[in-house]
Structure 1
Amino acid sequence: MDNATELHAWLDEYSVSHQNPTNIIIHKICVPAITFTVLGFLWSVPLPKAIRQNLGYLLSHFIPLVAIGPILAFYFRLSTKMATAMSILLALAMMVLGIMEQKSVRIFRVSLFIFVLAWIGQFIGHNIEGKKPSFFKDLQFLAVGPLWTLASAFRALGIEY
């Protein structure tokens, strides 16, 4: 199976449990929110001061970078365009986290609050849909959800992926 076919297979299978228009809207809001909060959790992992002082600002937050590396590799294997767009979006999210940190926002607490609300939204959406979330079948769908959301944006903008 070539990469484009594999990407479409993942997106098509994810779409099976996302047919109801209300559930789709909920997911287009909640999936990006969950993605942002996971980055927020990773951003909040404390590093020893000695390590932080010897690294540049961005590298002092290498835990999110290391964690998203394999996911981005999966995305690049499926679609260079989508992976590039996702890389830009994740970089913007990390910039927002950096600004939040500089403003002394309690990133972990804010992330936890949004994370809980977004997952409640997800489960409400699946209750409306009448189908279990895709990740109950395969945990890789947790990585496919953001791609599915991005694919919708690509289609709306007329961009092939």
Structure 2
Amino acid sequence: MRKIDQLFAEYAESHHNQTNKFIHWICVPLIFFTIVGFISLIPTPHFCASYFGCISVASIVALVLVSIFYFTLSWRISLIMLLIMLLMEHFAYAINVHFKENSWIIYLYIFVITWIFQFIGHKIEGKKPSFLKDLQFLLIGPIWLLHFILKKIGIKY
């Protein structure tokens, strides 16, 4: 069994309840987005491109590191997640420009509220979140959801 399949199987152990799964489909992408948003606020130089906006050096470093982790599991998932992260970075840039110095408050509210729902989901499930056992599961959650989409449309990961 490939490492990615082992990680998905282990992650799935605490995600059987339909309510918990539903909560995860909403909250995991939002939490991931808030992390992208927080990283985009780290004061580092920015590179700008027409129609995209600007991306900070801190964001580029984070994208590269996360992509490397995902690449060790699956090159397809790594490529798709890189595109998703760039799209999230684009939206984070738009929020940062529109709300200026208050954008961190938006990320904080979303982050706190979604984590509250995550813990409610795990309370309903009756099992602790996977990341309490191993922090790498914080990065597995988003691709665990992605793998369901890929299976549905017939793309091997």
Q: Name the TM-score, length of structure 2 as normaliser.
A: 0.89
Give the superposed CA RMSD: 1.7
1:136 aligns with: 132
2:71 aligns with: 76
Aligned partners of 1:92 and 1:9: how far apart in 2? Answer: 28
Aligned partners of 2:22 and 2:66: how far apart in 1? Answer: 24
Q: Which has the higher contact order (CA 8 A, sep 6+)?
A: 1
Unaligned runs of 5+ in 1: none
Cα deviation per residue 1:82-115 (whole Å; 9 max; x = unaligned)? 1111010000001111222232353211100000
Q: Which has the higher strand share?
A: 2
Runs of 4+ in structure 1 off by over 4 angstroms are: none
Alignment check: 8 A CA contact 2:55 2:93 kept:
no
Residue 65 of structure 1 deviates from its aligned partner by 1.8
Secondary structure of 2:47's aligned partner: coil
Residue 137 of structure 1 deviates from its aligned partner by 0.5
2:106 aligns with: 110
The alignment-based identity, stated in percent, is: 40
Aligned partners of 1:27 and 1:56: how far apart in 2? Answer: 33
Cα deviation per residue 1:102-152 (whole Å; 9 max; x = unaligned)? 323532111000000110010000001000000111011111111111112
Aligned partners of 1:60 and 1:21: how far apart in 2? Answer: 37
- Equivalence map 1:43-62=2 (5 Å): 43-47=40-44, 52=45, 56-57=47-48, 61-62=56-57
Aligned partners of 2:69 and 2:104: how far apart in 1? Answer: 27
Are 2:1 and 1:7 aligned? no
